[in-house]
Amino acid sequence: MAETRLIHGFHAVTAKLRHDPEGVKEIYLAEDRHDGRVRDLLKLAEHCAVRVLPVASARLDGMAPNHQGVVARISAVQRHITLDDVLDTLEEPALLLVLDGIQDPHNLGACLRVADGAGAHAVIAPKDRAVGLNATAIKVASGAADTVPYITVTNLARSLRELKERDIWTVGAAGEAERDLYAVDQRRSLAWVLGAEGDGLRRLTRETCDELARIPMLGSVESLNVSVATGICLFEARRQRR
């Protein structure tokens, strides 16, 4: 039998059905819920030909914390997604997050969670010299690992150049930059590029970006955790786009 794992919550399960219905094996739904979110989920599951099993809430409590009344059993095999798969379906300017060599799985998971909250279309990271999407990162992401496409590349600088060819502006977050992020026009297709804990962006990554921008730091500390910085950058993009 193929290896499976559980995800929970309406947002995570709905996103999985929309993006990878073949990976959803079955859905467990609280038998005492009959609201609009449940009806929408049932309609989507029927369209995707995924079996839904009504179960007692107590059973769901034993399967996952804070489940909201829905748990899904999905394939543990990661679906391969390319950047073209993401960009070719967009109906708005792209908003991407590029992570340069993040080593801490907690930071990666938190970045994925922030990217989901900000509506980023994908997260891009190198295959080497980075932590990768392991069990800890997936857990910290709180479902976002199933909702935000996570794309690994063999050569990050080359991938940044490919983004430019798709008319996506690349902005590297760097403390020494002359302009701050509020001066950057983020209404166009854009990729924020953030570096590893402590070291920041690698030299080649920095040189490949279209421009660098800094987060204004008004206190005594010189830098922020990468997931916090991610949130500031991505949500400023969303603010400008409103």
Q: Which residue positions form the known binding site? A: 195, 215, 224
Strands 24-30 and 51-55: parallel
Q: Give the C-alpha separation, 158 to 164, whole Å.
A: 10
Phi first, then psi: what are they for 97, rounded to 5°?
A: -120, 125
* Binding-site residue set for S-adenosyl-L-methionine: 195, 215, 224
Give the Å distances, CA to CA, from 172 to 19, 27, 66, 142.
29, 41, 36, 26
Helices (H), 70-219: 83-87, 105-117, 135-141, 156-165, 203-208
Please check whether residue 148 is in contact with residue 120, taking contact to mean a CB–CB distance below 8 angstroms. Answer: yes
Beta-carbon contacts of residue 176 (< 8 Å; ≥ 6 apart)? 212, 214
